[in-house]
Amino acid sequence: MATRKTSESGAFMSKYDEEVEVRLKKLEEQSHTKPTGATQSKNDERLSALEAEIASLKAQLEEKNSSPSVSDGSIESKFNELVRILKKTETLNISKLSKGLL
């Protein structure tokens, strides 16, 4: 008696199933080649650039969310908080207008 192949799930496979499995594996080998050399180098560079951008955005978000407390009510702390918020709007050009004093 001939032995029958079984799938990964344990089910018996017909001759057609076996042929389809072979074709599928060949297609997967062609479509999922691993990058090497210059291609892998480009992928690594792009990944590094994305990771750096994410780190930069995280830092900006943390800076934006960590504002000093103005609950003490002092005029100076309120003024500093206002300047900090205004500096975030680059179109206002606060640094240039204040000639670097703020």
**Residue 50: its pLDDT value, please?**
96
Separation between Cα atoms, residue 70 and residue 72, nearest integer Å: 5
* Single-letter code of the amino acid located at 73: G
Structure confidence by residue, pLDDT tens digits, 45-92: 999 999 999 999 999 888 877 765 555 678 888 888 888 888 888 787
pTM, entire model:
0.38
Separation between Cα atoms, residue 72 and residue 18, nearest integer Å: 76
CB neighbours of 7 closer than 8 A, spacing ≥ 6?
A: 13, 17, 21
Burial 37-54 (b: 16+ CB within 10 A, else e): eeeeeeeeeeeeeeeeee
